Chain A
Amino acid sequence: MKLTLITGLTGLLLLATIVELLRRRQLREKYAMLWLGVLLIVIPLSLFPRLLDNVAGFFGVVSGVSLVLFLGIVFLLLVCIHLSWEVSALEEETRTLAEDFALLRAQIDAERAARDELVSSDG
């Protein structure tokens, strides 16, 4: 009973955090949807940990809780991979930005040099 209380409260706290982050526009839609989906699964499980016992039995896992642990770790790994992928995309974008910036600077420098040249040859 005590355990259910702790897990249930944790789940609700997480839900409140995510909803608040969302409301403050600190989370983009795609991540928000992901975490809301996760919580919709996690909260019932935290209140009724034995919910998955039948499913676990079917897969030959002794208790539903171990199944949840296993699935949880797999899920977290997937999230990590996804984040690495996002960071790679971001790095590629900043690289493009840096190049654009350098090209612009080169262009401005060249134009300024040409103008100075013109002024000094005039005067």
Chain B
Amino acid sequence: MVNGKRVLIIIPALNESGSIADVVGEVRGELPGVEVLVVDDGSTDRTAAVAAAAGARVAKLPYNLGVGGAMRLGYRYARDNGYDVAIQIDADGQHDPRYVPKLVDLLDDNDLVIGARFAGEGDYSVRGPRRWAMVMLSAVLSKVARTKLTDTTSGFRAANRRVIEMFAGWYPAEYLGDTVETLVHTARRGYKIRQVPVAMRKRMAGTPSHSPAKAMIYLGRAFAVLTLALIRR
């Protein structure tokens, strides 16, 4: 329970055995009484076993579905078990669970709350085409959602019951769909989105998923995904 609400923390994880135990441990330490669900997305290492040993509930997918696929499973679990709030957190330790109560508080007046970098707190910075992509996404999505969004690809977000219900039935598994397209979809259906500044920490272990060489391709795909999301209904 956080502020009288039943909260589920959903952690999508792919080969994160190096950090998942610490992340689950930290969440359970900082937020007593919340349930943690780790969705192991076909990891080839011991992610599932390590997470279970750390006290999380583990849902193991038989093969990789991507973050979007893992998150829909998480939201279905939240819906079927009647949670009031579902919060997505990365498995690499970059998100600080101490911000969770703040996110939950903001859900009183909002439907989806995003923990955002570049919004004042912390010193996380990005350069080059990746940055251009982020600027473009922020500008367009802020307009669509009628609120200031500086970190649209953040994997730190809290959803209330209404949004859990929607995401349980519809959550894209495509690249960037889990962040960009869900934001457009949510805003278009009249739900209120809000961001809170969070400081982002360094990865605890493992390798970052993005190399600088892929930044340009990322920009192109971000543009394509955004255009698609805008023409879709």
**Chain A interface residues (CB < 8 Å from chain B):** 19, 22-25, 28-30, 32-33, 93, 96-97, 100
Contact = CB atoms under 8 A, between A and B. Distances in A.
Interface of A is mostly: helix
B232 A23 contact: yes
A32 B221 CA distance: 13
B139 interface: no
7 contacts: A22-B228, A22-B232, A28-B174, A29-B174, A93-B62, A96-B62, A100-B62
Interface residues of B, number: 11
Interface of B: 62-63, 174-175, 177, 224-225, 228, 231-233
A23 B228 CA distance: 8
A23 B181 CA distance: 13
B233 A23 contact: yes
Contacts of B174: 28-30
A97 B175 CA distance: 23
Nearest to A98: B62
Nearest to A32: B228
Contacts of A22: 228, 231-232
Nearest to A89: B63
B177 A29 contact: yes
A28 B176 CA distance: 13
A115 B111 CA distance: 45
A33 B220 CA distance: 12
A97 B231 contact: no
B62 A97 contact: yes
Contacts of A33: 224
B231 A19 contact: yes
Closest 5 CB pairs of A and B: A29-B174, A96-B62, A100-B62, A23-B232, A93-B63
A97 B42 CA distance: 12
B62 A29 contact: no
Contacts of A30: 174
A100 B61 CA distance: 10
A43 to B, nearest CB: 18
Given A22-B232, A29-B224, A93-B63, 5 more contacts: A19-B231, A29-B175, A29-B177, A30-B174, A96-B63
B225 A29 contact: yes
